[in-house]
C-alpha cells in the first residue's frame, strides 16, 4: 500500500547528522522501530526504510526544509523498494 501523509516520528539526530527513527505514530497506533535499513536522499527529503517490533515495514521521509516526517509506503513484513 502506498501512502503519502504527514506522521509523527520520534527520532535521534547524532552529532554527524545521522537520523535514527525510534518510533512512529500512524493513525491511533504507536510503533516502536526495531531496525532501520536502506537510506537515500531524494528531492523530497531523506528516505529511510524501517521495521517495527511487530514486523511492519515503513518507508519514512524526513523533509528538513519543512521539518516534517511523511509516511510514503507501508508493508506487512514484505516491501518492494
Q: pLDDT digits over 50-69, tens only? A: 999 888 899 999 999 999 99
Q: pLDDT digits over 31-44, tens only? A: 999 999 999 999 99
DSSP state of 72: E
**Residue 79 predicted with pLDDT over 60:** no
Beta bridge partners of 25: 8, 30
Q: Please tell me the distance from the alpha carbon of residue 35 to that of residue 53, in angstroms, as a whole number.
A: 8
Q: How much of the chain exceeds pLDDT 90, in percent?
A: 70
Top-confidence residue, 1 or 17: 17
Give the closest residue to 64 by CA, choosing from 81, 42, 36.
Answer: 42
Q: pLDDT digits over 15-29, tens only? A: 998 999 999 998 889
Q: What is the pLDDT of residue 55?
A: 87
Q: Give the burial class of 68: count Cβ atoms within 10 A of its Cβ; 0-12 exposed, 13-18 middle, 19 or more buried.
A: middle
Amino acid at each position: 500500500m502506498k501512502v503519502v501523509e504527514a506522521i509523527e516520528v520520534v527520532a535521534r539526530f547524532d552529532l554527524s547528522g545521522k537520523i535514527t527513527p525510534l518510533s512512529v505514530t500512524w493513525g491511533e497506533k504507536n510503533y516502536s522501530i526495531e531496525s532501520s535499513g536502506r537510506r537515500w536522499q531524494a528531492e523530497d527529503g531523506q528516505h529511510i526504510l524501517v521495521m517495527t517490533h511487530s514486523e511492519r515495514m515503513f518507508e519514512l521521509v524526513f523533509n528538513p526544509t519543512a521539518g516534517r516526517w511523511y509516511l510514503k509506503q507501508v508493508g506487512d513484513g514484505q516491501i518492494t523498494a
